[in-house]
Amino acid sequence: MGTKTPLEILVIGAGPAGLSVAAEAAYHGFKSILVLEKGTDHNQTVRQYYPEEKRVDAEYKGQEAVCAGVFCFRDTTKQGFLEHIDRLMRSYEFSVAYGVNVDSIKKRSDGLFSVTATNGTEYEAQHVVIGVGRMGKPNRPDFFSQIPASVRKEVRFDIQNLNPEGKRILVVGGGNTAVEFALSLAPKAEVSLSYRKNEFTRLNPMNKQILEEDEKQGLMKVLRGTNVTAISEKNGKPLAIFAEREEMEFDHIVFAIGGSSPAAFLQNAGIELDERKNPKLNEWLETSVGNLFVAGELSVPQGKGSIIVSFNSGETVVEGIMRKLGRERKPEIVSFVPLP
């Protein structure tokens, strides 16, 4: 579907940031709000990349989990988090269109935005908020295209639908996602975790503690200071080639080395980027294009994002929009949904 009357606010992405923007806007009286999501449900990153038993942490890398707006949560399970978001979404009036992949954002001479989907559908809006994250485009190793086709299917970027029972699995990465992948696989598989640095400096305290305990108990092998430089094939299985140690054969290799900013998409919308290819934003997370905002993970330096940061960015964006319109925000935030 498209839009005939321009929307007040059009949001791209139904993750924590995008849904928070929509809920904040609804709470503060905006009536025509639409969220476009390319996936089949909200929070696709959580659904795709988080193991079923994974905790969803409010506090991340020592950042105090203080909620600023209508969306909030406490540490819970993956399923508990998704159910909590379901309840929150039912409490605020806004629409979500699933299966819509946005191709371009153009600001017209009349000040409105034309947002075009890959299927040709066009949407008009007064304000547009980009709420996509980095994990939608996982980083691949430089040598990915040289991995033999015979084993490439065993090289993955998430652990969804991966049967670990009795398998040898290598997880590559040193962030919370990589460690959580390794921890969730370790009870059923022979797991090795490869990290290019000698110390894990980006982990939240709980992940760091559990990793150290599992390593001491021999539940997984941690290969510190190692770089995977290539993947070959041996006995029909992927063979990891390291710069610093002997090669190792595995059944599966999982890369969790972060994601990249969709720089080309942002630049095509006219957004100015800094030297790190991140959008230049003002205090209300507005880009160099007036009334075009960025919320969530792309609004903070890489590695500084969290679900609470994404939730709070929704409050910041909506306050910025209201200030531009000369409207006052409600003095008190009232959550209609109890925290999990």
Phi, psi of 322, deg, nearest 5: -65, -40
Contact, 173 vs 188, CB < 8 A? Answer: no
Q: How far is it, in rounded angstroms, from Cα 33 to Cα 227?
A: 46
Tokens representing 297 are: 């993970």
252-255 vs 292-294, strand pairing mode: unpaired
**Is 79's pLDDT higher than 70?**
yes
Q: At CA 217, angle to CA 213 and CA 221, rounded to 5? A: 90
- Given this model, what pLDDT does residue 207 score? 86
Closest CA to 129 of 325, 330, 321: 321
Q: What is the DSSP string of 171-204?
A: EE-SSHHHHHHHHHHTTTSEEEEEESSSS--S--
Q: How far is it, in rounded angstroms, from Cα 311 to Cα 70?
A: 8
The pTM of the full predicted model, rounded to 2 decimals, is 0.71
**Is 49's pLDDT higher than 80?**
no
Q: How far is it, in rounded angstroms, from Cα 239 to Cα 230?
A: 8
Q: How far is it, in rounded angstroms, from Cα 6 to Cα 127?
A: 9
Phi, psi of 197, deg, nearest 5: -100, 165
Bridge partners for 279 per DSSP: 273
Tokens representing 32 are: 């025509």
Average pLDDT over residues 325-329: 88
Least confident of 105-114, 134-143, 186-195: 134-143
Q: How far is it, in rounded angstroms, from Cα 128 to Cα 10?
A: 5
- Given this model, what pLDDT does residue 3 score? 52
- Given this model, what pLDDT does residue 137 score? 66
**Is 120's pLDDT higher than 70?**
yes
SS3 120: coil
- Given this model, what pLDDT does residue 199 score? 95
Beta-carbon count within 10 A of 79 CB = 13
Average pLDDT over the chain, rounded to whole?
89
